[in-house]
Amino acid sequence: VNALRKYIKDSKAIRFEGDGYSEEWVKEAAKRGLNNFKTMPKAIEAYLSKKSLELFEKHEVMSHKEVEARNEIKLESYIKKVQIEARVMGDLASTYVIPSALKYQNILIENIRGLKEAGLSEKSYANQLQILEKISEHINIISDNVEKMIEERKKANEITHNREKAIAYCDKVKANYFDTIRYHVDKLELMVDDNCWILPKYRELLFLR
């Protein structure tokens, strides 16, 4: 019990009982004078700080060269993972999501054309036109961002230094495009007819029998 009390007291400066991903922690970390690296490539640099290296060597855990080697491996692993995610995301968007949305879009176009030929007023198919416009907007944004992401990935691949390459994949590829593409794909998933959507939808994954 006394040992536990000591550890609790000693770790007070870095212990946080709340949500470590919240803005509250960002402010609290700054208040305590603690680093708060939000991305993996920059976070692992802490291993190479003077204090960390001295600690590893003092307890004979790892030498300076061994720490650097482990960091290189971690950076290479991170780069590969983001590369794979980017490629899969681009492939899914281009070969599954957009074709599915276009298929449904064509159905809507035919529906609108039929209503027009039947002599109905534009007011009667205004909602279909609105859906058509929104689908087109999502398709264009996805397509545009996938192309930009591919170009940014090509630039990152030309970087030879692992640290700089990992940061480029993190800040230029992942941060700039992943969430945007995901957001508009999710919107299309909610709008496109189930019969046109090739991939499983979230509700189907949640309630799959």
Please give, one letter per residue, the 3-state secondary structure of 155-185: HHHCCCCHHHHHHHHHHHHHHHHHHHHHHHH
Q: What is the pLDDT of residue 85?
A: 98
Q: How many whole angstroms separate alpha carbon 142 and alpha carbon 182?
A: 9
Q: What is the pLDDT of residue 209?
A: 55
Distances from the Cα of 199 to the Cαs of 66, 68, 205, in angstroms? 44, 42, 10
For the chain, first and last CA: distance in Å?
A: 49
Q: Is the pLDDT of residue 160 over 90?
A: yes
Mean pLDDT throughout 31-37?
86
Question: Where residue 74 falls among pLDDT bands split at 50, 70, 90?
Answer: very high
Mean pLDDT throughout 46-50?
93
Q: How many whole angstroms separate alpha carbon 53 and alpha carbon 46?
A: 9
Q: What is the pLDDT of residue 124?
A: 85
Q: What is the pLDDT of residue 156?
A: 97
Q: What is the pLDDT of residue 122?
A: 86
CB atoms within 10 A of CB 81: 13
Residue type (1 letter), 38: K
Q: What is the pLDDT of residue 167?
A: 96
Token pair recorded at residue 108: 């809507």
Question: Which residue is associated with the tokens 């909602």?
Answer: 127
pTM of the model: 0.84
- Apex 133 CA angle, 129 and 138, nearest 5: 150
